[in-house]
Chains A and B, each alone.
Chain A
């Protein structure tokens, strides 16, 4: 088990956005979290990655082959260093930086150069910088946007921006990749390519993948297990077939009146 969330709860003032959610991701698994708008999916994500401090509950992670450790209430950059990387629902690149530099920021938590090294430019720093460029370029090739390395990030086509976010997340050397609506705004062809990419990432890079998605066809074809949330609570768990047939899921998605 690479991710184990127990009883996670998040309150905003009087509003309970996430209510007692238990969720697990096993090694090498692709798991999806779905639910209607405002169900609390992104809030859940933000609690796991440390952007929000959850009101209650625990988040435990374990890099395959190592001991489990609790990351609840850890600061986001430390969680990333532990091996959890994420993308954002509404793309959050560094728009004025180049594509390559965006990925280089992803490498940051694996680097050691300090201020003095930067000014002195000693051997170690120079070597490290050279390695960063190469590693980052390799990430770009993995997601297939290497030819745009020196382009300004904001000038990339939309689909490539989504890929860049994935490359940047990969650069942090994660064992668990969290994707927040990776197919949002993509056309069917781009979505198919994305599915292929995600599968390839899992097999080639021994990643486990946990994603939030609205595109049902993508979720159904890609994920092995699906969690369904509504009004902050888990209402169903299972493989795609089970979830598809679950009456509470149908009700949550189509409202009270199924015939409508």
Chain B
């Protein structure tokens, strides 16, 4: 039973991690129907920014909590800026071209950012400092939950609620929904579509950076390549939940997290990644709209 619980909790953590990334994917896809292959790279850049900042700040002698807060905030701001710039350079100019162009551009961006960090920093794994403090009350639970796992889970839940509220009730959220339904019409009604798209990238990237910081302090190491696989997994989660849907992204992430963790625990850990991809293929074949997505009609 303890083994099961352990796997359950580790699946939950994984799910929360994927969710922080999947949210950005789903938001961007919802609005411009583009798989942003470089989303995982934004997450990686967020983690690196936090690592660099934490190293500088710890030499400056700040305490752990301040470092965690400052590093996370700066990482979010920087990743948001990267997301914003990336949209301006690689996506906006091809928005009216064929879909194929935008996808290739996204792949190029992903390749570029990975190697940018590899060349400017290092291609080796770097240990990531433990930024999340130990939470005393967790020790009293009957099953093993680490502080990092707890913090990741709580953060994901909060971010998901905030984003849902933002999209449902705020003016910006309404503009986003309008732009995702019909960009021309939204523009005619006075929505600044360019700004809405840029903002979507900014929010999605900041969320990804938060994920980067939390996950790296959980796994304890990073390198330039961590974004790629995480990005693909998050995309799988977003598709699984129904791409374009915020609660769907979170549900999909948890389902994926559990599948991987139980699959690795009870079947074989060698094929951990295969489970994720197998799920993707199955869902696309049998229910392409995902668990919570609405079926779409092709326009003729």
Contact = CB atoms under 8 A, between A and B. Distances in A.
A51 B300 contact: yes
Nearest to B294: A13
Contacts of B297: 12, 52
A42 B297 CA distance: 14
A231 interface: no
A88 interface: yes
A259 B206 CA distance: 57
Contact of B300 (A12, A13, A46): A46
Interface in A47-85: 51-52
Interface residues of A, number: 7
B244 to A, nearest CB: 16
10 contacts: A12-B297, A13-B294, A13-B295, A42-B300, A46-B300, A51-B298, A51-B300, A52-B297, A52-B300, A88-B300
Interface of B: 294-295, 297-298, 300
A12 B294 CA distance: 11
Nearest to B298: A51
Given A51-B298, A51-B300, A52-B297, 4 more contacts: A13-B294, A13-B295, A46-B300, A52-B300
B292 to A, nearest CB: 15
Contacts of A52: 297, 300
Nearest to A17: B297
B288 to A, nearest CB: 16
- B294, B295, B298, B300: most-surrounded residue (chain A CB, <10 A): B300
A43 to B, nearest CB: 9
A79 to B, nearest CB: 14
A13 B293 CA distance: 13
A177 B256 CA distance: 50
Contacts of A51: 298, 300
A239 B68 CA distance: 78
B100 to A, nearest CB: 13
Interface in A80-109: 88
A42 B298 CA distance: 13
A246 B297 CA distance: 34
B91 to A, nearest CB: 23
The 4 closest A-B pairs by CB, nearest first: A51-B300, A46-B300, A12-B297, A42-B300
A143 B207 CA distance: 57
A46 B295 CA distance: 18
A35 to B, nearest CB: 17
Contacts of A42: 300
Interface in A1-28: 12-13
Interface string A204-216: 0000000000000
B104 to A, nearest CB: 17
A228 B54 CA distance: 71
Contacts of A13: 294-295
Nearest to B297: A12
B212 to A, nearest CB: 38
Contacts of B295: 13
A13 B295 CA distance: 9
B294 to A, nearest CB: 8
A46 B297 CA distance: 12
A52 B298 CA distance: 9
Nearest to A49: B300
Contacts of A88: 300
Nearest to A43: B300
A44 to B, nearest CB: 12
Contacts of A12: 297
Contacts of B300: 42, 46, 51-52, 88
Interface centre among B294, B295, B297 (most CB of A within 10 A): B297
A138 B294 CA distance: 46
Nearest to A46: B300
A51 B294 CA distance: 20
